[in-house]
Amino acid sequence: MEQLDATDLRILDQLQQNSKLTNKEIAAQIGMTTTPVFERIKRLEKSGFVEKYVALLNKEKLGMTLVAFVNVSLKEHNTRFLEEFVKSIKPLPEVLECYHVAGSFDYLLKVIVKDMNEYQFFVSKKLAGLDNIGKVQSSFVMTEIKHSTALNII
């Protein structure tokens, strides 16, 4: 793995706080000139430390008020069934995150929808329609206490 120095980490930290900062603004924040910052950012992007740049949207303003964490257990656990589940879950737009986990359940999904009616449709028509679903347990977010996309790197 490529080694990052303290300057690389400071640049990455600035980018994850605000990816719209210009190279000039980042350079000023970390006490460098623009050209070396530009070159470092390009190297960090090329080497995969920066995967992509996105806009984080306000789900409430968009009417997406129900957040559910959904535990899913499969009936059978052979490679074919695991691969089929992953292939089936990826295109579902309600599922923002999906993790294969160890413990009482096989998968943890983060689902965001408009309301309980939309969630009920998602579970009964989309999730229940997938082969090999054994058990589904949902937890609903009442209050979001902390939500961050920034990794603690410095």
pTM: 0.90
Question: What is the pLDDT at residue 107?
Answer: 98
**Is residue 16 in some structural domain?**
yes
Question: What is the pLDDT at residue 13?
Answer: 98
**Is residue 94 in some structural domain?**
yes
What CATH number is given to the structural domain containing 33?
1.10.10.10
Closest of 130, 16, 21, 143 to residue 76, by C-alpha: 130
Question: What is the pLDDT at residue 74?
Answer: 97
Whether 83 and 134 share a structural domain:
yes
Task: Tally the domains of the chain.
Answer: 2
CB atoms within 10 A of CB 40: 22
Contact between 150 and 17 under an 8 Å Cβ cutoff? The reply is yes
Please report which confidence band the pLDDT of residue 2 belongs to, taking 50, 70 and 90 as the band edges: confident
**Is residue 75 in some structural domain?**
yes
Whether 133 and 101 share a structural domain:
yes
Q: Which domain holds residue 11?
A: 6-46
- Burial-class residue 13 by CB neighbours within 10 Å (0-12, 13-18, 19+): middle
Q: Tell me the per-residue pLDDT of 94-147, one tens digit each, with 9 for 90 and over.
A: 999 999 999 999 999 999 999 999 999 999 999 999 989 999 999 999 999 999
**Is residue 17 in some structural domain?**
yes
Q: Which residue type, as a one-letter code, is found at position 59? A: K
What CATH number is given to the structural domain containing 120?
3.30.70.920
Tokens 């943890």 sit on residue: 108
Whether 78 and 132 share a structural domain:
yes
Question: What is the pLDDT at residue 1?
Answer: 64
CB atoms within 10 A of CB 138: 14
Whether 117 and 86 share a structural domain:
yes
Question: What is the pLDDT at residue 17?
Answer: 96
C-alpha pair distances (Å), 38 with each of 8, 17, 106: 11, 17, 43
**Is residue 1 in some structural domain?**
no
Q: Tell me the per-residue pLDDT of 50-80, one tens digit each, with 9 for 90 and over.
A: 999 999 999 999 999 999 999 999 999 999 9
